[in-house]
Structure 1
Amino acid sequence: MARPRILVVGAGFAGVECVRRLERRLTPEEAEISLVAPTSYQLYLPLLPQVASGVLTPQSIAVSLRRSSRHRTRIVPGGVIGVDPEAKVCVIRTITGEVTDRAYDHLVLAPGSITRTFDIPGLTEHARGMKTLAEAAYLRDHVIAQLDLADASQDEAERAARLCFVVVGGGYAGTETAACLQRLTHHAVKRYPRLDEREISWHLVDLAPRLMPELGESLGRAALDILRRRGIEVSLGVSVAKAGAEEVTLTDGRVLPCRTLIWTAGVAASPLIATLDKETERGRLVVTPQLTVPGASGVFALGDAAAVPDLAGGKEGAICPPTAQHAQRQGRTVADNLIATLRGQPLRPYVHKDLGLVVDLGGTDAVSKPLGIPLRGLPAQAVARGYHWSALRTNVAKTRVMTNWLLNAMAGDDFVRTGFQRARPPALRDFEYTDTYLTPAEVRAHTASLRASAG
């Protein structure tokens, strides 16, 4: 008999953890495993702000999928753009643009999330995100380029616009991005004799009334104090009303001359979820506690794209937050449940109590809450970096990251512009390819012949 075909979609924390566990616990004769991902690496997302600020090199947080000694999974270089659960087929667009079909017996959906945007004039054309390695590398080049151009400019208005930076989103990504990049410009400006540090302005804006409310009032206030002490203007209860190439209009009426708008105002589930035409909650695919998708035989979903019941939270109807911590552990649960399915054993529900939160603000500044214990300063920094370092999947990645941290601590920042910028500045959609997905009707039309033959 043919081996069951397991198809895993997504090489994030959830998908990779699931594949690694399947490779360890299934014999090659029990199943054929395939992984669909546009890149052959797992990106360690929490450290992206440190790549953008130059503390870490891009390669150090891009962990190869092919380093495992147990590696036997077939990696399909591309992205799934549609799923037909009835025909048990995924529609894949490869990295060369070809569209192919791949049948499965068991499907693991871990496509992750995209940057959440709103219907704000000019936002998708003029904002940059912090969700991919390419965005982080581009932002570093872009920020340094603004200093170069401001230093060379004779126009005071242009200098002011180039030296104004706006970050939208007071969550972890936005706060860490603003903190790390502000630290970069603070150190870099000393190498520009024609620029005054007082000319550089950083703004962090968020609609929420508090910064990072998950940390609690005390630590959130501590993070706010750190940012303001560094000169970052934090505006809460405020967002962007309109974005342009040379200015940003805020909802409180202020107009900021600005050439840099960084958008980190939350995430939304991958558009792939909509192609299944199944029930969703806040855009995420509804799943059972065992992480199966109701009404879709053989389909599991997890990570940022799934509304996983939070059984450990104690609140009825609560779903797990989209964090790496939950995604990794959900990956293990799905792998175990897949193995149980193949072997005719009962499935188990996903239960995990959050271990805490860490926020690295660069230098010796950090706030952390491991196991509910509030920390700040150097102890918080040690916990934050220790957690990230231990979470890296390979010894090679750990060595690269530790070496980068030590080198940065001893030699300081460098301000090299590597040339990743293009003549036409890329927009949010250019990095995340959100317009490539099919509608449910297009998926069914594409797989009609397969469903007919199956019937």
Structure 2
Amino acid sequence: MNTVTRPRILVVGAGFAGVDCVRRLERKLAPDEADVTLVTPFAYQLYLPLLPQVASGVLTPQSIALSLRRSRKYRTRIIPGGAIGVDLKAKVCVIRTITDKIVNERYDYIVLAPGSVTRTFDIPGLTEHAFGMKTLAEAAYIRDHVISQLDLADASDNPAERAARLQFVVVGGGYAGTETAACLQRLTHAAVQRYPRLDPGLIKWHLIDIAPKLMPELGDKLGRSAQEILRRRGIEVSLGVSIAKAGPEEVTFTDGRVVPTHTLIWTAGVVASPLIATLGAETVKGRLAVTAEMCLPGHDGVFALGDSAAVPDLAKGQEGAVCPPTAQHAMRQGRKVADNVIATLRGEQMQPYVHKDLGLVVDLGGKDAVSKPLGIELRGLPAQAVARGYHWSALRTNVAKTRVMTNWLLNAVAGDDFVRTGFQARKPARLKDFEFTDSYLTPDEVRARVEGAGIDHP
């Protein structure tokens, strides 16, 4: 079989789902059985659950960025860029490379795992003035920004400015928001001890969420435990509240309160990648509607999984239930999709995805955590051991495991450091500057581009 006739498998996205799919394909496919290509803006897999610990400086950025080029044995071709459109009929993926060149990549089989982007709403000033917590750059940038607020407050002789710079608002009472508020509060609490001119009592953290409960997936008892831990640390938790508008120096809550602040961190959920909207296919709450085998109905050779696909959750036994957008599902879906792609190639029977949720872990920093592994409720050090043990074991490479464990040990022994790395330039960067959600094409633009390139629809 030569390279001309060899089937082309294109995987979009290097998150948990995409990388596990690629690695499985590499292990199980013969070298001459198919060509595998991966489209990703960055040649690393980001371990998202540990981003709050990067923002707080407990972990270094490179410790959770797992290189895809480290091993020489992998044979997948990597295209450095992002998929901005897919023509399912012509079997063409439109890619914007990191040099802004737009190319058409043909495929025989495509695995769509583009992940998700931060969910925003039509709130005045939100995208212009809020920070996100979805990328490695955002986590590093937020750390610089938070430390700079202490520097600027210390340098200011204006009491109002000083108070505003020492107030921080986090929106989103899910895992990302709760862990972000908890980890960064620990950072500022430790750092302010090095600023003798600053009153530690001026530092105020606000965690708000429109939902009536904090992390409802944990259950009432653990949710209340987490809330009590945060309040004991001085974090003001407001539920049933969101943002009415955001400005450069203040945030207005929906209950009428106006909080003077220069730091608004938005972690109020995620939505499927805008790439899904370019397909013109059926969706379920924005996620691509797929079968239990993660196939797109009516389109041969198209698979979708992870945050961007509404994969039926057969383990729940409830009609209409779909898998939540979590890492444990994405990794297992990636492996199952790889098996189903190989089965399709070889004319074998595909298998449905079934996985029972193993539980949830929430690391609040220090000795504080709440966890619910296999339905068992844990708090404090046992919960912390489970949370960090789970994250450590889920890291894909031994290099990453060594780096993370070393960082944890060093932080436990030496404490936090408060060095700004220089990510914060004079020109501020906010939510709208990191995720490039305006780069995607419409379905009509995709078709026009493909037809303009002389690629016929079958």
Q: Is TM (by shorter chain) over 0.5?
A: yes
Which of 260, 267, 270 is residue 270 of structure 2 equivalent to?
267
The C-alpha deviation readout for 1:325-372, integer Å capped at 9, x for no partner, is: 000000011000001001100100000000000000000000000011
In the alignment, which residue of structure 1 is the partner of 2:280?
277
Pairwise CA distance, 1:69: 4.9
In the alignment, which residue of structure 1 is the partner of 2:17?
14
Which of 240, 251, 255 is residue 252 of structure 1 equivalent to?
255
In the alignment, which residue of structure 2 is the partner of 1:389?
392
In the alignment, which residue of structure 1 is the partner of 2:372?
369
Give the 5 Å matches for 1:158-307: 158-307=161-310
In the alignment, which residue of structure 2 is the partner of 1:344?
347
The C-alpha deviation readout for 1:255-307, integer Å capped at 9, x for no partner, is: 00010000000000000000000000100000000000112221100000000
- 1:437 partnered with 2:440: yes
Pairwise CA distance, 1:308: 0.5
Q: For residues 451 and 282 of structure 1, do their structure 2 counterparts lie closer, same or farther at Cα, with a shift above 3 Å needed? A: farther
Extract unaligned runs of 5+ from structure 1. none
Distance 2:16 2:71 in 1: 15
Cα pair 2:130 2:265 within 8 Å, conserved: yes
Identity %: 78
In the alignment, which residue of structure 2 is the partner of 1:134?
137
Distance 1:449 1:431 in 2: 30
Give the 5 Å matches for 1:322-341: 322-341=325-344
- 1:427 partnered with 2:409: no
Which of 107, 110, 114 is residue 111 of structure 1 equivalent to?
114
Cα pair 1:24 1:70 within 8 Å, conserved: no
| Equivalent position SS for 2:288 | strand
Cα pair 1:86 1:451 within 8 Å, conserved: no
In the alignment, which residue of structure 2 is the partner of 1:417?
420
RMSD across aligned positions (CA): 0.9
Q: For residues 451 and 308 of structure 1, do their structure 2 counterparts lie closer, same or farther at Cα, with a shift above 3 Å needed? A: farther
Pairwise CA distance, 1:315: 1.5
Cα pair 1:85 1:297 within 8 Å, conserved: no
**Aligned partner of 1:223: which letter?**
A
| Equivalent position SS for 1:432 | coil
Distance 1:258 1:452 in 2: 53
Which of 39, 44, 47 is residue 47 of structure 2 equivalent to?
44
Pairwise CA distance, 1:424: 1.7
Give the 5 Å matches for 1:68-87: 68-87=71-90
Give the 5 Å matches for 1:92-107: 92-107=95-110
Pairwise CA distance, 1:451: 6.8
Q: For residues 353 and 69 of structure 1, do their structure 2 counterparts lie closer, same or farther at Cα, with a shift above 3 Å needed? A: farther
- TM-score normalised according to structure 1 size: 0.99
| Equivalent position SS for 1:221 | helix
**Aligned partner of 2:263: which letter?**
T
**Aligned partner of 2:375: which letter?**
G
Give the 5 Å matches for 1:144-163: 144-163=147-166
**Aligned partner of 2:437: which letter?**
T
Distance 1:454 1:300 in 2: 20
Distance 1:162 1:295 in 2: 54
Distance 1:452 1:352 in 2: 40
Distance 2:390 2:71 in 1: 22
Distance 1:97 1:216 in 2: 46
**Aligned partner of 1:165: which letter?**
F
Cα pair 2:85 2:441 within 8 Å, conserved: yes
The C-alpha deviation readout for 1:169-219, integer Å capped at 9, x for no partner, is: 000000000000000000000000001110000000000000000000000
Q: For residues 389 and 452 of structure 1, do their structure 2 counterparts lie closer, same or farther at Cα, with a shift above 3 Å needed? A: closer
Count of residue pairs the alignment pairs up:
455
| Equivalent position SS for 2:434 | helix
**Aligned partner of 1:8: which letter?**
V
**Aligned partner of 2:272: which letter?**
A
Q: For residues 452 and 56 of structure 1, do their structure 2 counterparts lie closer, same or farther at Cα, with a shift above 3 Å needed? A: closer
Cα pair 2:89 2:457 within 8 Å, conserved: no
Distance 2:400 2:46 in 1: 11
Distance 1:445 1:295 in 2: 22
Cα pair 1:23 1:70 within 8 Å, conserved: no
Distance 1:56 1:303 in 2: 26
- TM-score normalised according to structure 2 size: 0.98
| Equivalent position SS for 1:447 | helix
Cα pair 1:429 1:435 within 8 Å, conserved: no
Q: For residues 170 and 320 of structure 1, do their structure 2 counterparts lie closer, same or farther at Cα, with a shift above 3 Å needed? A: same
Pairwise CA distance, 1:86: 0.2
Which of 44, 53, 56 is residue 53 of structure 1 equivalent to?
56
